[in-house]
Structure 1
Amino acid sequence: MIIKNTEPSLANETEICHECDLNIAIPSLKINQKAVCPRCGYLLSAKRANAFERILAFAFTALIFLLASVLFNFISFKSNGLENDIKMLDSITILIDSGYSALAIIEIITVFVIPVFVLVSLIYIVSFLSQGRYPAKGHVLMNIIFKLLPWNMVEIFLVGTLVSLIKIISMAEIILGPSFFAFILFSVSMTAVLLHIDKRYFYQALDSTAKKNKNALTSSALKPKFAETHATDFNRSLSIQKTWALIITSILLYIPANMLPIMNTWFLGQDEPSTIIGGVILLWHHGSYPIAMVIFIASIMVPITKILVLIWLNYSVQTHSRQLEHQRMKMYRIAEFIGRWSMIDIFVVIILASLVQLGNTMSIFPGVATFAFSGVVIMTMLAAMSFEPKLIYNQTENL
């Protein structure tokens, strides 16, 4: 059931829509009810049955499976009598030893550090809230969690691993270790945790618990932290300029990302560099049509589409356009959601470079384009974050 209501008389609280800046009166939600902004369709809140209990259960399960995924063999690669076994953390060591520390840092942060921090923080916060106690720095931790969630790329790493295996399965024997299946279950559990997180519900619980523990908190800490900022509370011009700077940077990085090799394959002493589009063409010629389409969409179409959408959105708010407001908001949400999935190609290169290390017989190394392409993904994500969707519906000159 979806609730769309703006009548103050029916509401327990009035909040500001995160995306269109509309003041909305939200009634007390029942189980399985949702509150949706009547103007832009943004999901304001969703109340799920036993949300805290499920978050705790899935979070503990995710941590257990993550631990299992780093303890045992992840994947084994056999070719021409040579074999290479890797564990999850071996890929990081291989990248550092090969001089690709930046890629190792990306993998560590997005696949391990951020997910673990989010899970441990949620367990800490929910455990206290379930007992009716306010967790120290509860609001601060929740703010950090919501800022880090877009950079959690566990499921993207898993898809990248599957794509890399399909790319090399025709040239070698692949054996999936116990850690591979543990990582799948970790990814599923992590996704289940994220699906049960509701921003408004968490902040309401924190504020309610804080009021019951006034002795441990200052009056400023008791102010609601889930209320969104009005469009008039930020510098409109600065937001637009910052977004333009990030868009232009991503465009400049996109050129070398596609012109330079993203991967180098050493086969019998011969170097065979491969660009992103070259890899797509090679996969297509070999009959791997689904994988070629995945790489083409994630690595070529998605970045270009996101850059074009961000250019259109930023230009439209800069010129105070009032046309196609609903369509622009939908495009913004799509661009924000799909942008991170371009990291699939980077994770494919990381897995292949970690797995295929058989000396001069066959070895794969990341190309210089991996750094440029990583920069494209990061810059476009930051551009989407810096863009203020509130400006789509609030085109006042004085903003």
Structure 2
Amino acid sequence: MARHKAGVFVAMDEATPDHNLMDTEICHECDLKVEIPPLGINQKALCPRCGYLLSANRANSLARIQALAITSLIFLFISLAFDFISFKSSGLENNVKMLDSLDILMDSGYIALAIIKLVTVFIIPAFVLCALIYLLVFIRNGRYPWQGDRLMNMILLLIPWNMAEIFLVGTLVSLIKIVSLADIILGPSFFAFILFSIAMTATLLHIDKRQLTLALAATRAKGHVNTDAKVESTHQAINPSLSIQRTWALIITSIMLFIPANTLPIMNTRLLGQDDPSTIIGGVLLLWHHGSYPIAMVIFIASILVPIAKILVLIWLNYSVQTNSMSLEQQRIVLYRIAEFIGRWSMIDIFVVIVLASLVQLGNTMSIVPGAATFAFTGVVVVTMLAAISFEPRLIYNDKSAYEHRTTS
């Protein structure tokens, strides 16, 4: 019997004959069928082949998620009610609320940027939180929620597109960039949004797909609800050719967008009637020249290094699965996880532009407007995220028999 120690418990692969009290789970990243025993408090299950976290059982996890989700939603609403930031320069003042910035962007003709902020910072987080609260109210009362499984799948699908914490970092970077040019006053909504971002991050960190699935299944069985004909399986068969072709198309698109994103101005500063366009690399060099080394490094890493590294990693991964490479499996899966996680953080520079464009609007005295590169760079971030989603990590482990031979020998 092959045993694979994972964390604080033993996970066994599909060759294990002892199936008592075991629950079968197919690893999302390497397609290995793993049998998971009932988990105790603070125990977790890792895939014995690729190390993917299959499940984690935390104490009072459902109650914690519900409490954190409600807290997050409260702080989100508070952040919309008061002044977010006040900007004073040359006797002129601009007070901005969170939703006022959307009006400013739309009035200036930047509807796409307003939609990006509205969807990624407000709509998606609010929907995820409301959906979680709805599910957990029913689950904790032993009742199966209407469309529970589909709603849970929607939550998991939308989580990567929640960018509240990235917007917060982008706001901090933008304030550091202009603090020498004007007086900045942080309003109550700014601090409420910080608390919202912290609570939202804590909520998402507590979510465990398998534990929620088991809780939903328990309420479904208790209520004798038959959803077999309605619920679609989240583990589908792989179509290698389609996955590889789609990923190549997205990679090529991101490369084409990356060129104008770094050659065209990402924003234009108008000071006393004079225009000063700035590219991404130009902004990094300017920050470095003024001694803002940490901020220059953050922008350089997030806006230049990360997109390039992610594109190169996706190229290598897609080429390796296309050629059926069986080498460096562990290294490739680690790089895939890193690329999938950090890719969204490239949105920092876009949020910097959004904050500055909505805050610094003092007519001919001083104003900042987005440049053409803003839209190209947004396209780079979105397309590379879609490429990472399109890439099928299960294709990395294409020699299942070799693994089974190693574990049984």
Which bracket does the TM-score occupy, shorter chain normalised? over 0.9
Is 1:5 aligned with 2:11? yes
> For 1:66-91, what per-residue CA distance to the aligned partner results, in whole angstroms no more than 9, with x for missing partners?
11101100000111111111000111
Structure 2 CA distance for partners of 1:126 and 1:8, relative to 1, 3 Å:
farther
Measured against aligned partners, the alpha-carbon deviations of 1:240-281 in whole angstroms (never above 9, x if no partner) come to 000000000000000000000000000000110000000000
Q: How does 1:110-125 map to 2 (within 5 A)?
A: 110-125=120-135
Counterpart of 2:359 in structure 1 is 355
One-letter amino acid matched to 1:295: I
- Per the alignment, residue 191 of structure 2 pairs with 181
Q: Which amino acid aligns with 1:45?
A: S
Please state how far the C-alpha of 1:217 moved relative to its aligned partner.
Answer: 3.1
In the TM superposition, what are the counterparts of 1:194-213 in structure 2 within 5 Å?
194-213=204-223
Change (3 A) 1:218 1:180: closer
Shift of 1:225: 5.1
Residue deviations 1:50-81, cap 9 Å, x none?
11111111111111111110110000011111
Number of aligned residue pairs? 390
**CA–CA distance in 2 between the matches of 1:97 and 1:8?**
67
Shift of 1:15: 1.1
1:62-141 counterparts in 2 under 5 A?
62-141=72-151
Structure 2 CA distance for aligned equivalents of residues 101 and 152 of structure 1? 19
Q: Does the C-alpha gap of structure 1 residues 322 and 354 become closer, same or farther in structure 2, counting only changes over 3 Å?
A: same
- Between the aligned partners of 1:147 and 1:8, the Cα distance in structure 2 is 35
Once the 2 structures are TM-superposed, how far is the Cα of residue 338 of structure 1 from its aligned partner?
Answer: 0.2
Deviations 1:141-178 (CA, angstroms, capped at 9, x unpaired): 00100000000001000000000001111111100000
TM-score of the two chains, using structure 1 as the length reference? 0.96
Q: Separation in 1 of the partners of 2:307 and 2:380?
A: 8
1:4 positional shift: 4.2
Kindly indicate whether the alpha-carbon contact (under 8 Å) linking 1:4 and 1:37 is maintained by their aligned counterparts in 2: no
The separation in 2 between residues aligned to 1:8 and 1:166, in whole angstroms, is 61
What is aligned with 1:286?
290
| Shift, 1:3, TM fit | 2.9
Letter in 1 for 2:259: I
State how far apart, in whole Å, the 2-side matches of 1:378 and 1:4 are: 39
Aligned counterparts of 1:22 and 1:177: Cα–Cα separation in 2 = 51
Gaps of 5+ in 1: none
Percent identity for Structure 1 against Structure 2: 70
- TM score, norm. by length of structure 2: 0.93
Change (3 A) 1:371 1:310: same
Q: How far apart are residue 395 of structure 1 and its match?
A: 5.2
1:273 is aligned to 2:273: no
Aligned CA distance change for structure 1 residues 11 and 21 (closer, same or farther; 3 Å): farther
CA distance in 2 between partners of 1:259 and 1:220 (Å): 52
Deviation string, structure 1 residues 79-114 (Cα, Å, up to 9, x no partner):
111111100011111111111111111101100000
Residues 105-154 of structure 1: per-residue CA shift (max 9 Å, x gap): 11011000000000000000000000000000000100100000000001
- Residues 219 and 312 (structure 1 numbering): CA distance in 2 closer, same or farther, change over 3 Å? closer
Compute the displacement of 1:224 (Å). 9.2
Within a 5 Å distance, the mapping from 1:54-69 to structure 2 comes to: 54-69=64-79
Other-structure match for 1:314: 318
Letter in 2 for 1:166: I
Residue 242, structure 1, aligned to residue 251, structure 2: no
- Seen in structure 2, the aligned counterparts of structure 1 residues 172 and 179 have a Cα distance that, compared at 3 Å, is same
**Contact 1:164/1:348 (<8 A) preserved:** yes
Instruction: Show CA shifts across 1:176-208 (max 9, x none).
Output: 000000000000110111011000001111112
Cα root mean square deviation, aligned: 1.3
Distance 1:127 1:110 in 2: 25
Determine whether 1:389 maps to 2:393. yes
Number of the residue aligned with 1:51: 61
Report if the CA contact (8 A) 1:8-1:25 is conserved.
Answer: no
Aligned residue type for 1:130 = R
The aligned residue for residue 254 of structure 1 is: 258
Segment of structure 1 superposing worse, 86-95 or 276-285: 86-95
**Residue 315 of structure 1 aligns to which amino acid in structure 2?**
Y
Structure 1 pair 324–26 and aligned structure 2 pair: CA distance change class (3 A): same
Q: Is the 8 A contact 1:29 1:47 kept in 2?
A: yes
